[in-house]
Structure 1
Amino acid sequence: MKKTILTVFGILLIIAVWYFFIKSHDYQVNFTIKALPGTINQSVKTWNRQLNSEFPIVQSSLTEFQQKLKFSDSVHTYNWNISMLNDSVSKVKIYARDDIHSYTNKLLIPFVDTDFEKRTRKSILDFSGKLKEHLNKFKVTIVGEEDLKSTFCAYIQVKGTQYEKANGMMLNYPLLDGILSENKVQLNGMPFVEVVDWNMSNDSITYNFCYPIVRSENLPVYPELKYKRFFGKKALKAIYNGNYITSDRAWYALLKYARNENISIKETPIEYFFNNPNMGGNELEWKAEVYLPIEETYED
């Protein structure tokens, strides 16, 4: 009898030590949604900016990252984990912890619905609602393999984040368009963005904002303006409809398609834009063609 009591006590002690001192979260919230991990990842970051959080997202990978939100006298840590259930549906797990009152929450949660649990559910419900709204505002259609044509172009190189890409284009549009128009340079196609570096760990990108032009001997010379030949290549293509701020949703869709089809690609997206956002209109009618170059293979 005594041995049984000691065994039970030992098991309870181990559980208590794990629960209070080893378990990293106080509460867990799960939901499933028809969205890719990249879209969810970027949407959490947008939501974090909208909340004016003083803490940046700390990212381990596209599917695992940490968010901190300040509520009155405490800081809540949300550890996000995203996994795909199938080609279109993701399961999202949020492991929540109150950094100041963790032990108190762990003591109370088995017995009462704490303010921390209510706040966490409310926050995640708010986010999931915004995510669903966002998903209704864009569309990505995978086309498949296509050959990009070579062209000569004038361009300005820009550095920023994925979220800042559209704004960077708008800021440089008057300069690029103004110089070419003023000097009567003949355009030769739709403007496009050529990403030359994409750091997915911090969302930073370096890209060339390009205008295809007819090459001549009298092209204007300006410090910010450069010229080059964009060489054609084989690439995976998608059609994106929606606000150009979030056209990177097509990048993630193409990455997933490439993985599913076992196609080696370069993570340097190229985007051709067919609408002028300054003209307004229904954003779902805005169109961009988005490409990911396919790695070249050489046979012996």
Structure 2
Amino acid sequence: MKTKKIIIVSLVFVSSLFLVWYLFVKESDYCISFKVKTSTGTVFQGINEWSTSRLSSNNENYVILEKKNFNYIKQEMKNGKITMEYTWDINSINDSVTNVNVGVKDISNSIYNRLTAPFFSTSFKKLQIHKITDFRNGLNKHAENFKIKIDGEGTSEEVFVAYLSLKSVLQEKAQTMIRNDAIITGFLQQNNIKIVGKPYVEIQDWNLDKETLDFNYCFPIDKNTDLIENDIVKFKTIPAVKGLQASYFGNFRTSDRAWFALLDYAKRNDIKLTNKPLEHFLANPFNGGDELTWETKIVMPFE
């Protein structure tokens, strides 16, 4: 009889602890999980872009409260009197699949949602499932626009280049290149300096927290060229770079998706890399055609 009482008291105690945790400590009211065939960084960028689009389409204002690399992001969303928190846990499973867990909390109705969501199809639950499903479908559609192949260890060729030093946010790297393309190609043409290969982008600094880039936009030229001093266009040798290599097929605007894939691969395989990828664009986008045939070789140097 005494043993039975101990068991009952223990069960009541454990149940009480669980109830207190579930109602008052647990971070989210409801959790939604799904898998997508892309990298953690692509998911992370997708969350930012989706949040921006929700402001214009649904008047939802998202603010980042906390983030950790490309694996975690916590947001506050306000829309009129409604305040919500979204917590995204993003984890790479293999070369092509990422698991995403989204925790949702309604600040004003948290306890009610926790009591009802597991058992009833409430308006809160249906709305959140619809929103996250919309995000997942958009991400899957985006992932259809490019292909990435991890090639393993690779080494780039040493190359002599004319280059511009540029800065941009991560999402506008390609636009920044396009805006400055006429400057460097016009300079080379005016001075009868022949381009002898496809362009490179050499990342000098990638601030993952601020999502900013310092990079060189480079065109290969003959190393015996008579050089002309210029305040904007410079010349240098890019040494051969040894690192983890990927082949990216798609629009150059989103070639950073391959960077994310390389970082995920390196993390899973305990490979130390520097965040200074070297991109070699092997197609000319001005020729048009199927973007999935536009190839870029990307080497992320070993640390």
TM-score normalized with structure 2 length: 0.85
The one-letter code sitting in structure 1 at the alignment partner of 2:31 is Q
Aligned ranges for residues 99-248 of structure 1 at < 5 Å?
99-215=107-223, 218-248=226-256
Of 273-282 and 197-206, more deviation after overlay is shown by: 273-282
1:81 aligned onto 2:121 = no
Q: State the distance in 1 between where 2:133 and 2:47 align.
A: 12
Deviation string 1:139-175 (CA, Å, 9 cap, x unpaired) is: 1122233332222212111222221111111111111
Q: State the distance in 1 between where 2:46 and 2:26 align.
A: 28
Q: State the distance in 2 between where 1:66 and 1:87 align.
A: 25
The one-letter code sitting in structure 2 at the alignment partner of 1:34 is K
Aligned ranges for residues 11-30 of structure 1 at < 5 Å?
13-30=16-33
Q: Alpha-carbon deviation of 1:289?
A: 1.0
Q: State the distance in 1 between where 2:65 and 2:106 align.
A: 17
Partner of 2:43: 40
Confirm or deny: 8 A CA contact 1:237 1:291 kept in the other structure: yes
Partner of 1:90: 98
Q: Alpha-carbon deviation of 1:112?
A: 3.3
Q: State the distance in 2 between where 1:244 and 1:110 align.
A: 44
Q: State the distance in 1 between where 2:72 and 2:235 align.
A: 40
Q: Alpha-carbon deviation of 1:54?
A: 4.6
Of 124-133 and 80-89, more deviation after overlay is shown by: 80-89
Structure 1 vs Structure 2: percent identity of aligned residues?
34
Confirm or deny: 8 A CA contact 2:241 2:299 kept in the other structure: no
Unpaired stretches in structure 2, ≥5 consecutive residues: 56-60
Of 67-76 and 150-159, more deviation after overlay is shown by: 67-76
Q: State the distance in 2 between where 1:271 and 1:286 align.
A: 13
Residue 110 and residue 255 in structure 1: after superposition, are their counterparts in 2 closer, same or farther (change >3 A)? Answer: closer
Residue 191 and residue 86 in structure 1: after superposition, are their counterparts in 2 closer, same or farther (change >3 A)? Answer: closer
Confirm or deny: 8 A CA contact 1:155 1:225 kept in the other structure: yes
Q: State the distance in 2 between where 1:39 and 1:267 align.
A: 16
Partner of 1:286: 294
The one-letter code sitting in structure 2 at the alignment partner of 1:147 is T
Partner of 2:261: 253
Confirm or deny: 8 A CA contact 1:66 1:77 kept in the other structure: yes
Of 188-197 and 111-120, more deviation after overlay is shown by: 111-120
Deviation string 1:194-221 (CA, Å, 9 cap, x unpaired) is: 0111222332221111111224675344
Unpaired stretches in structure 1, ≥5 consecutive residues: 296-300
Confirm or deny: 8 A CA contact 2:242 2:299 kept in the other structure: no
The one-letter code sitting in structure 1 at the alignment partner of 2:141 is E
Q: State the distance in 2 between where 1:163 and 1:95 align.
A: 26
TM-score normalized with structure 1 length: 0.86
Q: State the distance in 2 between where 1:278 and 1:292 align.
A: 26
Q: Alpha-carbon deviation of 1:92?
A: 1.2
Q: State the distance in 2 between where 1:241 and 1:71 align.
A: 39
Q: State the distance in 2 between where 1:260 and 1:99 align.
A: 36
Q: Alpha-carbon deviation of 1:56?
A: 4.2
User: For 2:53, which of 50, 54, 64 is the aligned residue?
Assistant: 50
Q: State the distance in 2 between where 1:257 and 1:110 align.
A: 36
The one-letter code sitting in structure 2 at the alignment partner of 1:48 is S
Q: State the distance in 2 between where 1:237 and 1:4 align.
A: 59
Q: Alpha-carbon deviation of 1:44?
A: 1.8
Deviation string 1:244-300 (CA, Å, 9 cap, x unpaired) is: 1211121122234444555443221011112333443321121111111234xxxxx
Confirm or deny: 8 A CA contact 1:74 1:101 kept in the other structure: no
Confirm or deny: 8 A CA contact 1:141 1:240 kept in the other structure: yes
Q: State the distance in 2 between where 1:292 and 1:37 align.
A: 17
Confirm or deny: 8 A CA contact 1:45 1:57 kept in the other structure: no
Q: State the distance in 2 between where 1:110 and 1:147 align.
A: 53
Q: State the distance in 2 between where 1:18 and 1:251 align.
A: 39
Q: State the distance in 2 between where 1:91 and 1:79 align.
A: 14
